[in-house]
Amino acid sequence: AFPEKIREILDPNIIGDEVVDHGNHAMVGMLSCITQLVRLGLSCSTETPKDRPTMPDVYAEVSDRFGEEQEHRSS
């Protein structure tokens, strides 16, 4: 299930039909980012509202994640 089968729910236009090659750091990084965003989305849709993250928490997590990606791209 999740996250092992993440490719089964993604639009093929996002990642193509390529087999994930763990030597392909760009593909691995992209799948990692997508997996984290899907995980966050799933946490936002839990049945009990009190178990969902707050919007400031969601914003902080997304900002942190994309901030890390920008740092890696700048290096």
Number of domain units in the chain? 1
Ranges of H-type helices in the chain: 12-15, 25-43, 55-74
Residue 1: CB atoms within 10 Å: 6
Q: Write down the pLDDT at residue 57.
A: 96
pLDDT tens for the chain, 75 residues long, are: 788 888 788 888 877 655 555 567 777 788 888 889 999 999 999 999 999 999 999 999 999 887 766 565 565
Does residue 33 lie within any of the structural domains? Answer: yes
Q: Is the pTM of this model over 0.75?
A: no
Does residue 68 lie within any of the structural domains? Answer: yes
Q: Which amino acid is at 58?
A: V
- Sign of the Cα torsion 3, 5, 8, 13 reads positive
- The boundaries of the domain holding residue 48 are 6-74
